[in-house]
Chains A and B, each alone.
Chain A
Amino acid sequence: MAKKSYIQAITDGLDILLDEDPKTLIFGEDVGKNGGVFRTTQGLQEKYGEDRVFDTPLAESGILGLAVGLGLTGWRPIPEIQFMGFTFEAIDSIAGQMARMRFRFGGQKNSPVTIRTPFGGGTHTAEMHADNLENFFTGVPGLRVVTASNPYDAKGLIISAVENNDPVLFMENLKLYRSMKDDIPDEKYTVPLDTAKVVREGTDVTIVAYSAEVNESLTVAEKLAKENISAEVIDLRSLSPIDTDTIFASVEKTHKVVVVQEAQKMAGVGAVVASEISEHAIMSLDAPIARVAAPNSVYPFAQAENVWIPNADDIEVKVRETLSY
């Protein structure tokens, strides 16, 4: 057990995966000697050699095409796309190829690929280095999409993602990379791919969130607790598929729900959560489903980022509105 950052927890998970399964491979831009631009693969090439952990030429569709091919020949690729905005370069490899491979083969072959990629904003990067493309990728059948809100889940989820035979998009939150630490067991453990987690129990209102917004939601819940308002916070963890059972159970208890996401409001994750609730649990509700999301512009340039990204204050406003409905 040791205190580890979100990055270190992922490195830990990758280390275990490389150690346990000789078929696992890590590759991408700068992942070798440099250990990745965020040092997430630090030390792994040294430990496992260039055959297992290697730099690629600079081409995202090349990287993910390679992953599909390696998957077809018995390997278990864990490619890195340096920033999520660069997945646009490889949309066919993801949505047109790896997500459909099992389906095409009638279940006889898999694409056991886990794509790791940093996403999210708030770190004042250059354009296309901050993005929330989960709205886009959760619309791809055959692709799992997961993301952790804390270092503990990050380690357990990366292990589950890689050991699973389906293609998984593993989104790593840029802002959380170095900003929080958890006690991380040294040994292997897993966090299931398909389940949300109630990260704070409450009875008055449910806040459904994922990734960095979970922490913003917890801040709000703590603040409200001082006024004897009891908010339950759910961390989705899996964005595709969504664990609706956990959400319904909570809503049936609290009768009020606020759905929070950092991504633009249009389409996507929060919309699915809200529609599932209205389809299956609307009779449990005492107030309309509230949503907190970014507006529908292109992801902002660095300067206006902090106003654009929904924060605890925005969540608090919606929660209070919902409570007083």
Chain B
Amino acid sequence: MAKDSKKVVDFAAIKADLGKDFKPVQILDNDAKVVNKELMATFSDEQLVDFMKKLVWERALHEQTMNFSRQGRLGFYAPTLGEEASEMGTVSAFKENDFLLPAYRDLPQLIQHGATVAEGYLWSRGHVLGNQFKARAIMPQIIIGAQMVETAGVALGLKKNGEDAVAFSYTGDGGTSQGDTYEGMNFAGAYEAPAVFIIQNNGYAISVPRPKQTAAVTLAQKAVAAGIPSVQVDGMDILACYAVAKEARDFAAAGNGPVMIETLTYRFGAHSSAGDDPSRYRTKEEEQPWFENDPLIRMRKYLTDKGQWSQETEDAYVEECKNSFKDALKDADAVAPEKVTDMLKNTFEVPTPDIAKQIAEFEEKESK
């Protein structure tokens, strides 16, 4: 029998400690109490109202778009209810010249970054014009994780160009399980490329809850292995999301290499407009506290108490936003349907001989 010996390594203790260093950054808590006065002082009153308006804009976009979707007037759309602070807070920290790589739930950020709502609707319908926006960005990525590796490439390209710009990308909690997410962070880290990776942890990947994705207690700690700094932030606090993203952007832009941000938020509704039923995999008891943690509530209360916001202001702004979305749908409706000949022409720079013949065939077919 071996003598009782001291453990060489106390793996159990190490395991218990993993991820303990991360404490979510917060500025305004759910009761609209300022928990970080120093950071709060960095915002002007005007900025605060602007953030409130962005939250309301995204909420209105969600409601109106879901409406259109229910009427069968759009294709695929990923609802964003509950994620407004996480999305608007982070995207607001970036500059026009920064390069955005969004996922399918990030249409609102793409629009804030310079695409039009009509383009967003065309994308949803599966029309190529929806991908031809002026914003410095790629179209919302359908393949989960693909944008994360591409972000490393874009960031390296920007660095080689000597541009004052960063690459920033979004994926979800589920997306962090893809090898691509690690590879993207690792490559960007290895090249000290200016990238900001934003993980929107909304608790679910369709039906799979966040704890089933990984044994890691935080997603932020996944950056540690790639040697890049990371942070968790209260994803229901738009001010904290903005402040953290701004610092990340500045850090990356200054040549210090990439940063990863995990926003803690919640997908209030179904996974997509095709409708899945969350009651199959989660309880009302779980949902309720999150609903009470709605990102609009705290900002609304804070600004209303300060006399800078009112229900009337909000109602009028919602109306204005929704009208603009209705106009956007009209713009999308005015676009001629896409043709197979266009798709064939877009496949290679110069149509190959086989495709040239097929273009001729479809020209005849589509002119009928």
Contact = CB atoms under 8 A, between A and B. Distances in A.
A125 interface: yes
Interface in B103-132: 104, 125-128
Interface string B151-170: 00000000000000000000
Given A58-B177, A89-B143, A126-B142, A301 B128 contact: yes
A37 B208 CA distance: 12
A219 interface: no
Contact of B143 (A86, A297, A305): A86
Given A126-B142, A295-B344, A59 B127 contact: no
Nearest to A82: B206
A148 B174 CA distance: 32
Interface string B199-227: 00000011110001110000000000000
A307 interface: yes
A261 to B, nearest CB: 15
Interface of B: 75-76, 104, 125-128, 142-145, 174-175, 177-179, 205-208, 212-214, 276, 280-281, 337-340, 342-344, 346-347, 352, 354-355, 358, 361-362, 365-366
Interface string A74-97: 000000000001101100000000
26 contacts: A29-B205, A33-B207, A34-B207, A34-B280, A37-B276, A55-B207, A55-B212, A57-B177, A57-B208, A58-B177, A85-B142, A86-B143, A89-B178, A126-B126, A126-B142, A128-B142, A128-B143, A297-B358, A298-B346, A298-B347, A301-B343, A303-B338, A304-B342, A304-B343, A305-B126, A307-B340
A297 B206 CA distance: 31
B281 A34 contact: yes
B343 A297 contact: yes
Interface in A40-78: 55, 57-59, 61-62
B126 A62 contact: no
Interface of A: 29-30, 32-35, 37, 55, 57-59, 61-62, 85-86, 88-89, 124-129, 265-266, 295-298, 300-305, 307-308
A128 to B, nearest CB: 5
B130 to A, nearest CB: 9
B358 A58 contact: no
Contacts of A127: 126, 142
Contact of A302 (B126, B144, B213): B126
B280 A33 contact: yes
Nearest to B178: A59
Contacts of A58: 144, 174-175, 177-178, 205, 208, 213
Contacts of B352: 296
A57, A58, A308 pick with most chain B CB within 10 angstroms: A58
Contacts of B340: 295, 297, 300, 304, 307-308
A297 to B, nearest CB: 4
A105 B366 CA distance: 53
B75 A124 contact: yes
A125 B276 CA distance: 15
B75 A29 contact: no
A244 B125 CA distance: 41
B207 A129 contact: no
B40 to A, nearest CB: 37
